[in-house]
Structure 1
Amino acid sequence: MVPFRILGPVELRNGETPIPVPSGRQAIILGALVLEANHIVSTEHLIDAVWGEDPPSSARSQVHICISALRRQLIDLRLAAEILSRSPGYELRLAPEDSDFHSFEQLVQDAKSLTQRNPVEAAAKLRQALTLWRGPALSGIVSRVLESKARRLDEARLAAQETCFDIELGLGRHHELIGELTDLVERSPLRERLRGQLMLALHRSGRQAEALEVYRVGREHLVAELGLEPGEELRQLETAILQGDHTLLLDSSPKGSIKLDPGQPATLLVVTPRQLPADIQDFTGQNDQVEAAEDFLRGGGGATAPIVAISGRPGSGKSCLAVHVAHRLARHFTDGQLYRDLRGSQPQNVPVAEVLGTFLRSLGIPGPTVPSGVEERAAMYRSLLADKRMLVILEDVVSETQVMPLLPAGGGCAVIVTSRTRLTGLPGALQLEVDVLDQTRSLELIGKIIGPGRMAAELHAAVALTRAVGGLPLALRIVAARLTARPHWSLASMAGRLADERHRLDELAHGEMVVRKSLSMTYDGMSQRTRWLLSLLGQADVETIPTWVAAALLDGDAHRAMDWLEELVDTRMLDVAGIDPEGDPRYKFHGLIRIFARERLDEHQDDRAKQAALERLLGCWLHLAEEAHRRLYGGDYTLLHGSAPRWELPAAQRDRLLVSPLDWLERERVNLCAAVAQAGARGMDEVCWDLAVTLVTLFESRNYFEDWQATHENALRVTRLADNKRGMAALMCSLGSMHLNQRRSALAQPLLELAREQFQQLGELRGTALTSRNLAMINYRQGAAGAAEHLYRQALTDFRQVGDLVGEAHVLAMLSQLDLDAQRYGEAEARLDQALGIARRTGSRRVQAQVMHKLGRAYLMSANFERAEQVASEVLTMVRDNGDLFGESYALQSLGIVYGRRRKHDLSEQALRRAVEIRESVMDELGASQVRLDLAPVLAAKGDVRQARELAEKARAMFLEQEAEQWARRADEIITELIARE
């Protein structure tokens, strides 16, 4: 039985016996310590948890008395835990499994990793986790600090239940879930996900009428309580039930482990992007524009996609109108919606190439197959959308040239564009001008926000307010939000404040000055800490703001960061941009509010405080990026770091963020690149180069060569200015690696040679090893095997001396290739076995898969076909578990070749055809042709020489088109052999 329990009333357990903890201070302190088990909890935090903002003068001594009592209790109960005095507070040291809170988190995490591979076991883990709960978390405790944490725990419990229901519904357990779901829906009537699960369980049980009644009751609750209609997913589910949509029924196809049986389909990525921001529930006015836009966009279907171009002054509601229209048309465009803010009103626009790359990845194209050029990306983008019904929304466009490459080719798609200027150069576009609201609509908008009753009671003052802000929608919303936050204020008093700022109101109807003065009124009403946070956020060059950013900027409690940001959301100074996979919200600025925040920061005279906040923010980006690398590679291997200070998040929060390190890097890519640029602009050379080279973990695995080059050139500039020789060498080495990845040896070699010389002068062994390894690769490609081997051996010695295990494994694998070329198969296999053992010790699945793939090829070349098949099958399982679609195609190709050598021609054909399908699905035609060339001999061996020749000739045509001469010659050889057999 778990001895430390907070998932319910706080209590201790001695075996089966519950031991009550005295209520009040002692229970609060124990709860706070358990929440942060194995981490230091400051005395100030404990005081805040017990007494809030008004502690007694004896607070510290009373905390110490409670700690002493808890220590005695732990000793009396003989529990394997202790409370240590650790500056600036205390640490509860215990095994994670001795806390129900930490056990719950671990079981949920275990379930997440099992969801795809073994849903039955995943559901069992979640059920086990849920049995740890005995009621609401920390129930019975009165503490403002702990209450917010308890709410998040309760939310995590509900999220785990919902995830469990999703899995069990997929396992066909809908009958068993109805009672449990009914009880939870009654207790949480506004929880739409639960309601949808209950509707689905009823529908699958043949109880359609009851499922629809559940929807009706839920809609009434939402309308009555919040004045909102159900969300899009719930409405779609109701429609599907009404229409008897067969897709709601369980998929009868077998699920489970990976098998290469003839009936298994290829693992293709099918993606329906739904990228629209949330709709504005109190959308007001512009009815004519809404109707015109809908009619025009619905009328598509011709040769070209219809375009609606919305223009207007800042703050006039362009974005609200675009998103509102898009939501109303979402059902009409069945293949989804693509959305991107191009940031045309900001100094640094989003490059078209980046937008195309993001859209292609959103449509299912893996990073390694995204072309590097704008024209190639645009062509692939048009091909993918040619037969789809997709709605594309492009926000804050600066010119027509930004839009043209992003227009779909198919008439079934449609485009909505917003811009400050009229984009008259867009062919056939419907031009809509958005202006200020008239008095009637302005009053309607204010009434929706503050309540119609309150407005009607002071109608004359409400009219004065609308006139004061000139009907500008953003200004109206800001004023109304402030009134909502202060219900004790009269509208007349608010109108009086505006009247006192007569000169500012004169500017209200003239461009950006309008919003600045309105924002000042909201800013003045905020607390000092909230104003400071807003100002600091203004200097954070981020596209969207993760929750932890507030903690880094304020050097505060990471667990309270969301509360501080929500204060800004309440005042409408920040917007919620979406929800992270961890369940935390992300925030964003309106562009003008960001400018306003930066102006406020400039007013502060304490330059050291501003610089320290920026250093913490950049230090936290660096801390998280290097931790992501460590989790992927098992340590700081093949990577150099500098001396920039780090600002670290609590381990529990860091673990939540980095459950999937590569996915986190992908999600934060834009922010991380912006952090490099900001560090460079501020002359912060150490953090700039360190973060740039750390991000290669992402750039290399997902083919972000533009980001790789841009970040490194930026960092190289600032390190040169600072005469930072180590940083310059690290960047040149990394840029050389980038050119090697793109097979541009002529560009890579001088950079690597210069970096190697610099590293040797500095006595930097790891850097010397990295450059030696890469220079060896260049020599190998140039046919200089002897020089390559010499450099590889130097790199191996240096990697071993600094303890870089992954670097050592890489070099051993490369040396094995030299052995294979010389037909020294035993030596090659021995090196690869050694490299594989190292990779397994580091825990890096990616490095393991790479080494094993080469080991399988070694077994194949030495005619050890049985072992080659076994290794290739293991690699296939690993890449599928990692969700690596591109790696799967390579593993299938290897396995198909092995099957062919073992005369398992049916299995060989199946694996190779599947590899071709995957390559085609990601539009890698060159790779697909290479696999076809392996497939042709297999078909010939089965007696279908004609089809084999057709495949080989099709592959040859592609090789000639792509100027792949070596592959074209191989195709000629195979075609000649096939002709001889006909």
Structure 2
Amino acid sequence: MGSDVTRGFSVLGTLRLSIGGDERIITAGKERVIAAALLLHANETVPVDRLVEYVWEKPPRTARASLYSMVKRLRLSLADHDHDVIRTASSGYVIEAEPDELDLHRFHALHKAARGARERGETRAERSRLGEALALWRGPALADVPSAALHHSLVPRLEELRLEAIGRQIDLDLASGRHALLVGQLSGLTREHPLREGFWSRLMLALYRCGRQAEALAAFHAVRGVLDAELGIGPGGELRNLHQRILMADPDLDLADAVPPAPDTLDGDAPSAAVQTRRDWHEMCQLPPAAADFVARDLERGLLVGHLAGGNPQRVLVLWGPEGVGKTELAVRAAHDLRPHYPDGQWYVALNGTGGPPRPVAEVLADLLIAVGVPAAALPCSAEARAAVLRARISDRRVLLVLDDARDFSQVKALLPGTASAAVLVTSRSALGELPGACRHRLGPLSPDESVMMLRAALGEERVSGELSAARTLARACGGRPLALRTASAHLHAQPGLALDDLVRGLCTGHGRREEAAVCA
């Protein structure tokens, strides 16, 4: 290793390589595969033959010669003065990395430290280490690395460790009474991992503890339908047992409040100072995972982050635009980028303004207040009083609040903080012109080239490059809408033998299948 130059390597998300404080951009997909493979095996020699398998699904006869040329170009891109980042070994290549240079190494170390804290019964230390470990993830591992072999052989093990850490962190949060802010996160996790019964059971318990028994029971019926449709089986014993206990309103499911209400708790609708100080502040990252196929939008992403990270006094930003253009994905990605600027919490609230029955403002406020330490028994009755308590709780706190899918100003106004230390990022189909002092940015569709980039990220570079003309036609048919592109990609994943040409011919003709026509809807 021996270099004094600061280096940083990241694989937990998109591939990032930094030498001497300068980020090195690797544009060629196959060279990114080589760099990612060497980093996943950091400090180990990766044989040339294995690198060939990672780079090509069907290696050409000239694969080894091509690989040597790619490594040579990659070395030039990563030039570190007198030191080669990539070193030649007897049978292959190696990148040597110190423990603090690679995010994967730091994740493993923090995960191990969390397990040690758990064995010692140090709950607070365990949660802190888990939070640090999960904060290293900027999205799915190797999100922009086009290698089916890497994604099939190495990435699942990393994803399993991430989900294990998430599950344990959620268990700790449930045990400490943070169930209200877990509902949104768990709803996202059950959508992303519908066959993981553990996330469904945690969602049911969180809903039940929020006083939403009917929704907890509905979640059980939802997972039962998913398991039957996908695997032809029913829920496991843990889920069935929890379902029965919720039906019976088992008092043992309730979380005992270690801090009983004080005599001067709220009387009617008047906010009490006791509510504001009863419990320590709970830092919480409740953001959904960043989309794996998120591409482009660098300018818009930079605008959002730059506005909310700087000293701009306008701390409310409305990201608006038509359905399906990727407002939620961009807002969530920007919110992840902003986490260091808002260390007291990053909250996500799905308002369901257009995607279903809008969530009542009073209910949203109740969830947020319980999450920051206000006992459920001490909540004010009216939405106005709850809003006043929330403003008091987050005054002078560096909190980022993402309000997703707002229908109109009435859904948002009670959730706005009273001080400039907190920030709000709102997504909506309208510009919310009634919202005073807000900055607004309209999000349009992706360009044709950006749409093809998204297809490459979702379907793999080789498949798209092999049917590039059809991919461009599909991109135009989807109108630059990420939602439509994602629907088309999911349809192609579900039918691996279906060519892009076949899907394009069936689109929007009135003769295709219902799923195909939905892409152009």
With normalisation by structure 2, the TM-score equals 0.48
Q: Which has the higher contact order (CA 8 A, sep 6+)?
A: 2
Question: Larger C-alpha radius of gyration, 1 or 2?
Answer: 1
